[in-house]
Amino acid sequence: MTAGQYDRIYEGWARDPGAFWAQAAEAIGWERRWDRVVDEPKPHFFRWFPGARLNTCWNALDRHVDGGRADQPALIYDSPVTGTIRTYTYRELRDRVAKVAGMLVALGVKSGDRVVVYMPMVPEAAMAMLACARIGAVHSVVFGGFAPAELATRIDDAKPVAILCASCGIEPGRVVAYKPMLDEAIRLATHKPRACVVLQRPMAKADLQPGRDHDWDEAVDAAAPADPVPVLATDPLYILYTSGTTGQPKGVVRDNGGHAVALAWSMPNLYGIKPGDVWWTASDVGWVVGHSYIVYAPLLNGSTTILYEGKPVGTPDAGAFWRVIAQHKAVALFTAPTALRAVKREDPDAKLLAGYPIPRFRTLFLAGERADPDTVEWAGHHLKVPVIDHWWQTETGWPICANPVGTQLFPIKPGSCTKPMPGWDLRVLDAEGQEVRRGDIGALVAKLPLPPGALPTLWNADQRYVDSYLADFPGHYKTADAGFVDDDGYVHVMARTDDIINVAGHRLSTGGMEEVLASHRDVAECAVIGVHDPLKGQLPLGLVVLKAGVTKPNAEIVKELVALVRDRIGPVAAFKTAVVVDRLPKTRSGKILRGTMVKIADGGEYKVPPTIDDPAILAEIADALKDVGYAKG
Ligand code: COA
Ligand code: AMP
């Protein structure tokens, strides 16, 4: 942690990226080493460590069992919603995962086959992922808050041989039965999996369909443990679907080799985490943060990971996070700013913290959405540790920018995610692809090749990969975030440049929600915008124009629209508000002025766009938004 260390490392990478990543790759055990560090078999498609062979699960588990960590806790399951705390040592986790892998083999799953995982935050979810990795199968975890229709879309795209699921998840105040949602998704999907394995939880047992469904415990008990199967570094480890600009999610592909190298590099160098440290990421295995920093990175690093089935508040109170840190002696927590805002709202002076001494706690990491300065300052003030905002995406798999506390802690500037990490040649470009002046806002892009760990392509959609990320700024990856670099070289990420919104750290497409609203029989036209919310950062808000002749009361239609989005996308969309308007503001060429409506809703100043068709509409929109509690500036 010495001054100048970051510059030395970053410059070393910039001088010779191949040497840098070859050195980082020494942290991983390889069955066969690479022919080249990186190559470009076709233009813009880069592959890391071609020719090398490894097994990610072996690196995450067996290697530590053999290397002296067999009796060290690997995973601590802490579930306030079920009143359970269970610890798995590296040996126990390796043995369980080997059995789950054996079960997959018995079901006919082979290397390269896809397996969908639709599970809440139970240790079996992590075991399922690692078991796939063990036999070279490709997992695709789907977040439990998504509705059957969304799950069906992912099943049709990934075409899994098997689906692993739990009978239910537990949300505050309700038990969410997963199995009926899975059954409905399979009914909706064209592709049918050969087998489903269901973890029966006592709070809601699921009905099993003979011939297709298997009981998890019985199937795992009956299975012979499976050994790790080496795969190519360039073979896919997983597909993780994320919101794109349409209702069709993007299947982000993660390879084995680059992923292992990048995550293994990040734990000591970026996060400052050592083997044996207890590390906690409070997220969900359904998101990239959960993939990388609940499951893979801490285990690759020989650390102990906490898997938490609970919320920041209400399970049972706003002291839950401090209790977990204290009880398990965690040295760091990684969560989304919204979780801290929830804590702050209930316990503004962090009084509950006094009940939980946390002397070993060193660092708080925040990501998933912009960390607002108030939250950063509040957390820093009460926890008295560095609060590190860092920026990344499902696509990148690990941080683009961070304050690399493991290498050098820079002075914290609330609102900034600090500096680019080695591997990321970050530029700020204007619409013509020219670099903007320092301090000016522009598109944040990364010069190709992307580093190990970042997506090599989209699942079965090379052209969509090019169109989505590479076409707008040739030679660069478009993050679709806008921001600027200040005079100290700090990066500030300010907003998305597309229709993605971030609701409680969850990434959602307003375009996808518009598709759902437009499918309602009474809706002629609609727009969904992301409006500011003090807790969740953003919330979706729908504006709809009804077809002529509709006589149904507006309130009834709004209720139907809210139910429709919940039914098609899921509760995670948090779509609760819509207003009926006579018309939507548009440019003369017919483009809906969503950005202007966001500014009106948030009560900020806005300019009447010179291209607007009829400026009078803006006052109508403001009135309609006032009726639902917005546009109060
Ligand atoms: N399965 C089923 N339903 C789920 C779910 C899951 N895994 N996760 C969330 N939901 C449901 C919730 O029950 C809620 O339903 P409701 O509309 O009936 O209340 C809805 O989806 C929205 O959930 P959420 O966004 O979590 O809001 P909340 O009001 O329940 O909780 C916070 C607010 C801030 C406490 C919560 O969002 C939180 O902990 N956020 C942290 C986010 C995070 O870790 N993000 C990962 C990126 S790092
Ligand atoms: P996801 O793919 O779900 O991880 O969402 C990625 C998006 O979340 C990014 O493109 C940003 O818009 C936003 N995001 C994530 N982390 C940050 C951060 N630290 N600061 C600002 N925005 C962030």
Q: Residue 289 CA: which ligand 2 atom is closest? A: 4
| Residues 561-598 pLDDT 10s | 999 999 999 999 999 999 999 999 999 888 999 999 99
Q: What is the mean pLDDT of residues 64-72?
A: 98
Q: Are strands 577-580 and 195-199 parallel, antiparallel or unpaired?
A: unpaired
What value does the mean pLDDT take over residues 72-88? 98
Of ligand 1's atoms, which has the minimum distance to the CA of residue 171? 13
pLDDT of 67 reads 98
Instruction: Evaluate the omega torsion of the peptide bond into residue 357 and state whether it is cis, within 30 degrees of 0.
Output: no
User: Is the pLDDT confidence value at 454 over 60?
Assistant: yes
**CATH architecture entry for 504-626:** 2-Layer Sandwich (3.30)
For domain 5-310+390-483, the CATH architecture is: 3-Layer(aba) Sandwich (3.40)
Can you say whether residue 414 is alpha, beta or left, with left for phi > 0 and alpha for psi between -120 and 50 degrees? beta
Q: What is the pLDDT of residue 537?
A: 95
For ligand 2, atom 11: residue with the closest CA = 369
Q: How far apart are the CA of 335 and the centre of ligand 1, in A?
A: 13
pLDDT at residue 179, rounded to an integer: 97
Average pLDDT of span 76-93:
98
User: pLDDT at position 52, please?
Assistant: 98
Tokens 């690759």 -> residue? 300
Ligand 1 near 574 CB (within 6 A): yes
Tens of pLDDT, residue by residue over 360-382, are: 999 999 999 999 999 999 999 99
Least confident of 410-414, 467-471, 518-522, 608-612: 608-612
Q: Is the pLDDT of residue 1 over 60?
A: no
Q: pTM for the full model?
A: 0.96
Closest residue by Cα to atom 5, ligand 2, is: 393
Share of the chain above pLDDT 70, in %: 99
Domain boundaries, the chain: 5-310+390-483, 504-626
Q: Report residue 609's pLDDT band, with 50, 70 and 90 as the boundaries.
A: confident
Q: Which residue's C-alpha comes closest to atom 13 of ligand 2?
A: 369
User: What is the pLDDT at residue 243?
Assistant: 85
290 lines ligand 1 (CB under 6 A): no
CA 493 to ligand 2 centroid distance, Å: 8
Identify which of 180-194, 243-257, 501-515, 578-592 has the greatest average pLDDT: 180-194
Assess whether pLDDT exceeds 80 at residue 105.
yes
Q: Evaluate if residue 247 carries a pLDDT over 80.
A: no
Ligand 1 atom with minimal separation from the 281 CA: 48
What residues does ligand 2 touch, defined as CB less than 6 Å away? Answer: 242, 288, 367-371, 389-394, 417, 479, 481, 493, 496, 502, 507
Tell which one of 311, 315, 388, 533 to mutate to probe ligand 1, the residue whose CB is within 8 A of the most ligand atoms. Answer: 311
Q: CA dist 571 to 91, 157, 574, Å?
A: 38, 22, 6
State both tokens at 502.
């971030």
Spatial separation of the C-alpha atoms in residues 264 and 280, rounded to whole Å: 16
Q: Identify the burial level of 534 via C-beta atoms within 10 angstroms of its C-beta, where 0-12 means exposed, 13-18 middle and 19 or more buried.
A: exposed
pLDDT in tens, 324-333: 999 999 999 9
- Ligand 2, atom 15, residue with closest C-alpha: 368
| Across 486-494, average pLDDT | 97
Q: Of 241, 281, 392, which is best to mutate to test ligand 2, by the most ligand atoms within 8 angstroms of its C-beta?
A: 392
Residue 244, pLDDT > 80, answer no
Nearest CA residue ID for atom 24, ligand 1: 572
In this structure, are residues 240 and 455 in contact, taking their beta carbons and an 8 Å threshold?
no
Kindly report, residue by residue over 124-147, the tens digit of the pLDDT. Answer: 999 999 999 999 999 999 999 999
- Please give the DSSP secondary-structure letter assigned to residue 270: T
Spatial neighbors of 527 by CB under 8 A, at least 6 apart, are 510, 514, 542, 543, 584, 592, 594, 597
Pair 327, 521: CB distance under 8 Å: no
Measured in Å, residue 487 CA sits from the centre of ligand 1 at: 38
**In this structure, which ligand is nearest to the CA of 243?**
2
Omega before 449 cis (within 30°)? Answer: yes
- Say what the pLDDT of residue 514 is: 96
- The pLDDT mean for the chain works out to 96
- To test the pocket of ligand 2, the residue of 242, 421, 481 to mutate (highest count of ligand atoms within 8 Å of its CB) is 481
Please tell me the least confidently modeled range out of 135-144, 181-190, 244-253, 319-328: 244-253
- pLDDT of 600: 96
The total of other beta-carbon atoms located within 10 Å of residue 120's CB is: 26
Percent of the chain with pLDDT over 90: 94
Residue 2 is predicted with a pLDDT of: 66
